Structure 1
Amino acid sequence: MSEALAVRTDAAELAPPLHPNPSPRELGALAVSCLQLEVETYPKPGLVSHIDNGSHGDMDAALLHRSARALEPFFVSLAEAGAAGAGMDRLRAIGVAAEAVMLKATSGVNTHRGAIFGLGLLCAAAGAAREESLGLTVRRRYGRAIAEGPVPLRSHGAEARRNFGASGARGEAAAGFPTVYQTGAPALIDGLKRSGGDFEAARVQAIFALIARVTDTNLLHRGAAAGLVFAQSEARGFLQSGGVGAADWRDEAARIHAAFVARRLSPGGSADLLAFSLFVHALEHGDPAFEAEPISCRPHDFSRLESLL
């Protein structure tokens, strides 16, 4: 069995049993599964998938799966911290430790820094007693601390803020992840309807919807303003042509993917938001599966996990 195939089956084996009040362990497993489902999505413009490496010469699907698995204990710890009412300083400390383990697992490649931040906050919110949306919990509990917290000077997001005025991941999180709620999660549902229940197609619909809307700091870093304009235009064209409801959607999405790769464009911020959208949708969509007894995935069967997302 190839490493790529091995890590793909791991995602199904890690799929957690879910119910209305998931434990920190279950939330950590769900966070990892959402990161792995993002990898298992194709065609996805410029991004690494189980098919190819997109615009990235330093990472592949196996590396991303390995990174995601290494982060699971930290997502569990973040959910526990949220349940304990911890403040942003504690969450940052866990995030710093998670980033160190990620870099060790990937030999120094930044695979999931943005996901540690965003999914970490969502895990903390999900760990707390929830009487509101995860996004509102993040904004209410941590929004001010996020907005006023330390700013890394050498990140892509910091460069984009200085050069283009983009708010980036910090602004999105401080506001309660409005793009997840207004674009990503609704696009998953829309994609399922358009495709007749194809879960990978739903994720493709969501990533194109996110690229079309988001001022993605990764696109700005790689392609400046012209790269962002090109990416958003291509994504909007795909959606306006019917998205995954069009008969030739896979061919058109693959063409756009190739165009991104030719320009070395990679919408990494949108990829993170896809994982966040999967996480939020799984916990908040109200699927009857969450009202039943805990359920689990059969080994090597992605369809059961996908049916929850």
Structure 2
Amino acid sequence: MSVSTLIHAPLPLAHWLADAAVDALIDEADLSPKPALVDRRGTGAHHDLHLGLMHASALALWPCFKEMAEAALALGEVGLPLREALGRIGREGERAMLATTGGVNTHRGAIWALGLLVAARALGEPGEDASAVAARAGRIALIDDRFAPRQPDSHGLQVQRRYGARGAREQAQSGFPAVLGHGLPQLRASRSRGAGEQNARLDALLAIMATLDDTCVLWRAGPQGLHAMQQGARAILDAGGSASLAGRRRLRELDASLLALNASPGARRLAGGLPVPR
């Protein structure tokens, strides 16, 4: 076999999916300027995170995503064996993440969301659209993992009890409605207007932020913070999006508002799994 053949040989599907998942996490971290989030400008509302740490964490998760895809390919169907395999692999991935970051939670939510999507895509057919992959991911997420540790006092569950907000788990179980109903349509609309890829992706994130009952923001800043996030994101889009001068000014205002409230949007976890087909 020639060197040229080796270089151009197609990657196994599990490797390709792991590459795509890690690329998504790195692209999400690099996307700037994100309101109150780690990006190329700084650490946002976080004191224990920085861009280099986000990159290192994403790269450390490559084996996790590859093994999730391989498990889906080996088992071949949605069911309890696959759900529990994904849970086990995800917990191993979380340990690898924490070892890399010195105990800082950089991507726990992304392991859940992207892991489901990687497995769902591995089970699908070439050329499937995002809604089919998301629906299959939702079916996987609805299955109870008997071995998952129970965390009755987690921040997400406390917020759900206090405010009735749906968290990342429910978003996944419903087939990622915030992504399909708001993020992807806005991404396509901004692209069609010639906003440029970075601005289109920012607009997609903002469209999710404008509608999501974000449990991370509710935990940090309560209903006041959630209202500031949703209304601020909507104001940017109404002003013309992040590619417009008026939208950029609104974006700076939202950034300052959320930083003052110490509110860091968890919507990035969903946007990190956003498919970006051309």
Greater relative CO (CA pairs within 8 A, separation 6+):
1
Aligned to 1:258: 256
User: Aligned to 2:245, what secondary structure does the other structure show?
Assistant: coil
* Cα contact 1:151–1:158 (8 A) shared by 2: no
TM-score (norm 1): 0.79
- Aligned residue identity for 1:83: L
TM-score (norm 2): 0.87
In the alignment, structure 1 residue 152 sits paired with structure 2 residue 118: no
Aligned to 2:40: 50
Aligned to 2:104: 109
Q: Show CA shifts across 1:86-115 (max 9, x none).
A: 421111000100111111111111110000
Q: Show CA shifts across 1:208-251 (max 9, x none).
A: 11110111110011001111111111111111112135334333
1:154 and 1:65 map into 2 onto residues whose CA distance is 29
* Cα contact 2:141–2:169 (8 A) shared by 1: no
1:234 to 1:22, Cα distance in 2 relative to 1, 3 A:
farther
Work out which of the residue numbers 174, 198, 201 in structure 2 matches 1:200. 198
Aligned to 1:134: 133
Aligned to 1:11: none
2:208 and 2:271 map into 1 onto residues whose CA distance is 8
2:48 and 2:141 map into 1 onto residues whose CA distance is 33
Q: CA RMSD in A?
A: 2.3
Q: Show CA shifts across 1:140-191 (max 9, x none).
A: 3442437xx7642243211211211122011111111111111112221122
* Cα contact 2:240–2:246 (8 A) shared by 1: no
- Aligned residue identity for 1:54: G
Unaligned runs of 5+ in 2: 1-7, 76-80
2:133 and 2:150 map into 1 onto residues whose CA distance is 24
1:106 and 1:225 map into 2 onto residues whose CA distance is 31
- Aligned residue identity for 2:85: R
2:257 and 2:93 map into 1 onto residues whose CA distance is 34
* Cα contact 1:40–1:50 (8 A) shared by 2: yes
User: Aligned to 1:57, what secondary structure does the other structure show?
Assistant: coil
Equivalent residues in 2 for 1:179-198, closer than 5 Å: 179-194=178-193, 196-198=194-196
Length, aligned pairs only: 261
Equivalent residues in 2 for 1:220-299, closer than 5 Å: 220-268=218-266, 270-277=267-274, 280-282=275-277, 287=278
Aligned to 2:71: 81
Aligned to 2:78: none
1:238 and 1:61 map into 2 onto residues whose CA distance is 25
Aligned to 2:18: 28
1:197 to 1:212, Cα distance in 2 relative to 1, 3 A:
closer
